[in-house]
Amino acid sequence: MLKKIVLSPYYAAASRRHVKTLRSLPFCPSAGEADETAAQTVVAIEYNAPEHDRENFFTAVGTLIAPDWVLACAHAVTATIDREVMRLGDIPTADKEFHVRVGSRVLGQGGAISPVDSIVPHPAFASPNRLKGRPKRGDGAHDVALLRLREPVAHPVATVATEPMLDEFDPVSVMGWTRGPEGTGRLSNVDTAVLPLKIGLSGGLGLGEMCIANTGGNDMDQGFSGGPVWVCPQGDADREPLVIGLVSRGCVGLFSAKKHGAPVVATDLTRHADFITGTIEAHRQQTQELS
């Protein structure tokens, strides 16, 4: 059943024309199954932490873009400083042994486990949890990392968009596990739209980021970090969808995504294409030199 977005006070930055357009857009709640083609490339990023009695603990969504490479949000796989560990009760990243679960739509069940060999975060990324003071515009930008698997996996891979192709209110789809382990546990899909830059800037949008509308049901909440943002090339319905972004965080400010359905900030992968292709190519050359 389709539903329309419930606009929160966060959208006050939009003009009346924007609000009218947003209210006319249909949104699909995450009760349905994810698209078959795209879902095959989505993986669950998990970790074991023996010293903390954690095993196969879900931490973020990943996207397989090569047999041995996974796209992820950097904030889920990078170091957490001691001050934040004390405040949040989190586990230091150094104690986590990351792996990905490939080929399963159900959290913690089925599929194949593939250990992560190395993690390469974007060099300009700085997690909001590691910044002092109140969040500022752009805190947490460049929230993208590449995970290299210890062994290649025989599984479908996603194609990453390299050229900007989205305008205001263009439709996109986002995949993740709604509310993580506390939800249904099944991979779900949210059909939504790109929001105007004006709205994003009012919510802390930074360089290389885009703003995505959330639904009144807060479908994109816990369990969507790193979730791929898909776009279908216009004018060619037969082409496979491209992953053009990764869910990073909710917009900062007076209204939270959890309480008010505030917009979601996503990393624009077309603005990070050089990092993605450069990292993979550099590793390929290094491997050839050592062989």
Say yes or no to pLDDT of 130 above 50: no
Q: Do domains 3-36+159-270 and 42-156+275-286 have the same CATH topology?
A: yes
Q: What would be the CATH architecture of the domain defined by 3-36+159-270?
A: Beta Barrel (2.40)
Beta bridge partners of 149: 116
Q: Which of 117-121, 145-149, 240-244 has the lowest mean pLDDT?
A: 240-244
CATH, domain range 42-156+275-286: 2.40.10.10
**Percentage of the chain exceeding pLDDT 90:** 44
Domain ranges of the chain: 3-36+159-270, 42-156+275-286
Average pLDDT over every residue of 157-166: 92
Average pLDDT over every residue of 193-220: 76
pLDDT tens for 56-113 read 999 999 999 999 999 999 999 987 544 444 344 578 888 999 999 999 999 999 999 9
pLDDT band at 170 (very low <50, low <70, confident <90, very high): confident
pLDDT tens for 12-30 read 444 444 455 555 554 433 3
**Dist CA 87 CA 159 (whole Å):** 38
Write the secondary structure of 158-210 as one string of H (helix), E (strand) and C (coil). Answer: CEECCCCCCCCCCEEEEEECCCHHHCCCECEEEEEEECCHHHHHHCCCCCCEE
Say yes or no to pLDDT of 253 above 90: no
pLDDT band at 229 (very low <50, low <70, confident <90, very high): very high
**CB count, 10 Å around CB of 276?**
20
CA distance to 69, 80, 94, per residue, from 97 (Å): 17, 15, 8
Average pLDDT over every residue of 200-212: 80
**Dist CA 120 CA 70 (whole Å):** 10
Q: In a 10 Å sphere around its CB, with 0-12 CB exposed, 13-18 middle and 19+ buried, how is residue 217 labelled?
A: middle
